[in-house]
Amino acid sequence: MKTLYRNARLVCPATGERDGSLLVEGDRIAATGVVEAPADAAIVDCRGKWLAPAIVDLGVFAVDKAACIAGGIARVGLMPDQSPILDDPGIVQRAAASGKPELWVHPIAAATRELKGIDLAEMAINAEAGARGVATGRGWIADSGVMARVLGYARDLGLAVIAHAEDSGLAANTVATAGETATRLGLPAAPAVAEALAIARDLMLAEQSGARIHFRQVTTAAGFDLIRRAKARGIAVTCGITPAHLLLSDKAVSDFRTFTRLSPPLRDESDRVAALTALADGTINVLCSGHDPRGPEEKRLPFVDAAPGMSGAETLLALSLTAARSADLSLAQVFDRLSRQPAKLMGLDCGTLEAGMAADLVLFDANSPWQIVADAMVARAGNTPFDGLPVEGRVLQTIKGGVRLTA
């Protein structure tokens, strides 16, 4: 099978943005730019719309095919916080197959058994079963000795450690960031420094071991400063963030709306501004959805009792474009964070439009306006803090391995 996508505005993290065509042969990109149409190729006229590498969404908590296809996502890095937990090779294999044929699922195995932070999981056999990294899950490993062993073992296997950055001694049983909003609402809150404390310890251990560490979400000015300095010292560290922490502050919690109950919690406005700066200067490597669909039985509760998390897969592109305008990023830079860098972190041969790469693509209209409506979302649940928000950037088609998909 050959398909030529012509009259496209090509967006590639490696080569930038230009007008041209893209030829797919089988499940691979064969050529881009000025391409003659093979006689046996199907022709897709992109009509001047944008064609980019499909999104690689690192750190989702659910395999939600419809939401991913609607959001231009062809691959997800699935967190180990599943039922059962991804700490066994058989479970990892089943998780890897769970998205077929519409979605590539790349399991991130548990770093410790049952994510308890005590005994190391069988990283080597989980990697052989298909795990593309190991993670601490939703929580922080409090025992420094255990975390040091996790980093050392992962280093020897060539795997990145994906860490949650909140000191559990400060953040346990809290639902908000300490400050004026939490005080006024009477919410149990942790100081923002809980994030920086966790990052500082894990960076020192990563530096000592030489391991690769990725903080799934960094959301505070102090955290970004630590990441910048660590990168300058040559530590193999990367970090990610969701659009929610780029576009919302803890003021969004003021009406006790549980759709704004997130993990980590929304931060002070000064931290939100610092996050945009970190996105602009490259401190933030990965834009991710943190997709965690939660139904009314988990969200229609008092704020303290509601489950944290948001449904973010199908809004990831539009909200990333919104944040990118504030950070003055080009489309190529946006897809560097949405596609190339998460692919690189997991060792995947995708994320750019270069010849030989997997033909995972997204066709979208960067200027098409629409409104996020929670009740109209195709995800398992529409628990988005952006309900009612007008945005620009609509996915027109998701292509996985050369096959065009429909949500």
Query: pLDDT digit string (tens) for 90-106?
Result: 999 999 999 999 999 99
pLDDT of 407: 58
Higher pLDDT, 407 or 135: 135
d(CA 353, CA 359): 8
d(CA 190, CA 111): 25
pLDDT of 406: 75
DSSP state of 349: S
How many other CB atoms are found less than 10 A from the CB of residue 234? 8
Query: pLDDT digit string (tens) for 61-89?
Result: 999 999 999 999 999 999 999 999 999 99
Query: pLDDT digit string (tens) for 167-177?
Result: 999 999 999 99
Average pLDDT over residues 156-178: 97
E strands of 188-329, at which residues?
189-190, 213-215, 237-241, 286-287
Query: pLDDT digit string (tens) for 351-397?
Result: 999 999 999 999 999 999 999 999 999 999 999 999 999 999 999 99
Q: Which of 157, 123, 118 is nearest to 141 (CA)?
A: 118
Average pLDDT over residues 174-192: 97
Average pLDDT over residues 305-333: 97
> DSSP letter string over 223-253?
HHHHHHHHHHTT--EEEEE-HHHHH--GGGG
d(CA 163, CA 133): 11
Q: What is the rounded average pLDDT for all residues in the chain? A: 97
Q: Which of 89, 59, 8 is nearest to 161 (CA)?
A: 59
| Radius of gyration, CA atoms only, the chain | 20
Query: pLDDT digit string (tens) for 279-298?
Result: 999 999 999 999 999 999 99
Please give the share of the chain, as a percent, with pLDDT higher than 70.
Answer: 100
How many other CB atoms are found less than 10 A from the CB of residue 296? 11
187: burial class by Cβ within 10 Å (0-12, 13-18, 19+)? buried
Query: pLDDT digit string (tens) for 201-231?
Result: 999 999 999 999 999 999 999 999 999 999 9
310: burial class by Cβ within 10 Å (0-12, 13-18, 19+)? buried
pLDDT of 361: 98
pLDDT of 248: 98
Q: Please, are residues 106 and 59 in contact by the beta-carbon 8 Å criterion?
A: no
Q: Which of 406, 336, 396 is nearest to 362 (CA)?
A: 396
Q: What is the pTM of this model?
A: 0.96
Mind listing the domains of the chain with CATH numbers? 53-355+365-392 (3.20.20.140)
